[in-house]
Structure 1
C-alpha cells in the first residue's frame, strides 16, 4: 500500500496551471515514478535540510548500462517527423538527453526529497527493487521554425516526452495506472483526448479558466517495460489533438517488450 503523501506546500501562484503542476509533483512523490521527475527536480522548493542530489559515481559496467539507455533514446520520435522540431531545454538536461540506470534511479529518488524520512526511505527501497534501466527525454516544438522567445505568438506549442525503462513491468503498469486514476479522481481536471489504439494511455487538462492565458496537458501510458510521460504547454488554445497524435506515434514506436519498431 502506498504511504499517505506529505501535506502539500501552499502554492505561491494560483490558477489552473499551478494546480496541474502541484498535482504532478504529488503523484511523482507518492508513486516514486519516473514520469515528470525532471520537472519535479527542477521546480521543487529547496529546503537546506533536505537531502541533496547528484549523479552517482559510474560503476565499472556503467558503459554497458549507458548503451542500454541509448537504445531507449532510439525509441523516441525523431525530430523532423510531422513538423516536430527541437524544443526548449528540459531542466538542466537540454532538449534531448539519456540517463543511465544509475542516473535514472538517482533522479527518481530525488523526486521523493520532500517526503518524511521514513516514507522516503520506504519508497527508495521500492525504486531499488524495480531496477530502472534508463531514462530518455526529448522536447519538441510543434513548428519547424525552432524554439525562440516568440514561439507562442506563432500559435506553436511545446511537448516534453520522457521514456523510463524499468525491469519490473508490474511496477510500470502500476505507476501509470495510479497516476491516471489519481488525476481522474480529482474533479478539477478534465479528460483529454483519447489515444487511438492505446487504451492504457490517458491525458488530462486543467479546469477551464477564462483569465488563464496558458494551457497545459499531461499524459501517461506504458508499453511493456517502458513508462511514457508527456507534458504539453502553450498559450491557449492548446492543440490537444496534435499532442495526442504525437503520443500515439510515440507508443506505436515501442513494441513489446520495449523495442523500437
Structure 2
C-alpha cells in the first residue's frame, strides 16, 4: 500500500475556438486563482480517489541531518522555519505590499495555512467546497510562508515599480505538490492563450507564464510555480511595461536555489 496519496492525471481543458478575448480574460483569472491558492488547483484535487485517500497515511519524512538553521536533504524534506527558507529581501529591494491582512512577511501554522487555502474555494457550491476541503485536509499542510518585495530601481532601468510575492507551502503529501505544479503548467499551455515566460536556469520543471497581452495598459504580470520536495513555491510579479521578466525570473531562481533538493540539482 502506498504511503502517499497519488493524484490522478489532471484533466486539461480544451481551449475554445471562438470568442478568444473573453476566454483569455477568464483563463487569466483562473491562473491567478490557482497561484493565489498556494498553487493547489481544485481541478487537480477533485480527481483524487476518495477511496484510496481514505486509506492513505501521512508521508513520514526521514529526519534530515541539519547543517544549519534551514536546508534540505536528498529526498526533498526541508527543515527550519519557513521564514528562513524564504528568500531574504535582496539588495535594491524593500519589503513590498501586505498580503491581505497578514502583512508583507509572515509565517502561518499548518492549521492557519489550511484555513487560508480552504478560503480560496469559498465561492464554490457547498458540495464542491466540501469536496475541495476534504482534499486539502489530505495534503497534510505543515505551514505557509509569505513574503513580498518591491524594487526601487531608477526610472528606465526596467525594474521601476516591480512588485513580487513569494509563497512557500510545506506539506507532507509531496506527490500532491508535484502534481499541482504539473497541472499548473499543463493548464497554461493547453489554453493556447498565455504568453510563455522565461525558463528558470537550473529548475527545468518551474513554469512561468504571462497573461494575454492587453493593449493600452501600462502594467504586466508574470505567474510562476515550482515544487522542491515537500515545498510548493508560487511566485507572482507585477510591474510597469516593458515588464522586467528576466529580472523577475532571476529573483525566482535565487529563491529556488535556496531550497533546492540536493538530489535534484541540475
Instruction: Give the TM-score, by structure 2 length.
Output: 0.70
Cα pair 1:69 1:99 within 8 Å, conserved: no
Matches within 5 A, 1:87-236: 87-143=96-152, 155-236=160-241
Aligned equivalent of 1:72, options 73, 77, 82: 82
Unpaired runs of at least 5, structure 2: 1-7, 14-21, 42-77
Cα distance in 1 for partners of 2:205, 2:212 equals 22
CA RMSD of aligned residues (A): 3.2
Correspondence for 1:20: 28
Partner residue of 1:35?
39
How far the C-alpha of 1:18 sits from its partner, in A, is 7.5
Give CA deviations for 1:130-177 in whole Å, capped at 9, x if unaligned.
1100000000012279xxxx9xx9823000000000110001001111
SS of residue paired to 1:244:
helix
CA distance 1:17–1:162, change in 2 (3 Å): farther
- Is the partner of 2:175 in helix, strand or coil? helix
Between the aligned partners of 1:108 and 1:123, the Cα distance in structure 2 is 10
Unaligned residue ranges in structure 1 (runs of 5+): 6-13, 38-67
Residue 238 of structure 1: aligned partner: 243
> Take 1:3 and 1:108, find their aligned partners in 2: how far apart are those partners?
21
Query: CA separation of 1:18/1:93 partners in 2, compared to 1, >3 Å: closer, same or farther?
Result: farther
Contact 2:159 2:244 (C-alpha < 8 Å) held by counterparts:
no
Whichever of the two has the greater Rg, that structure is 2
Q: Distance in 2 between the 1:154 and 1:191 partners?
A: 20
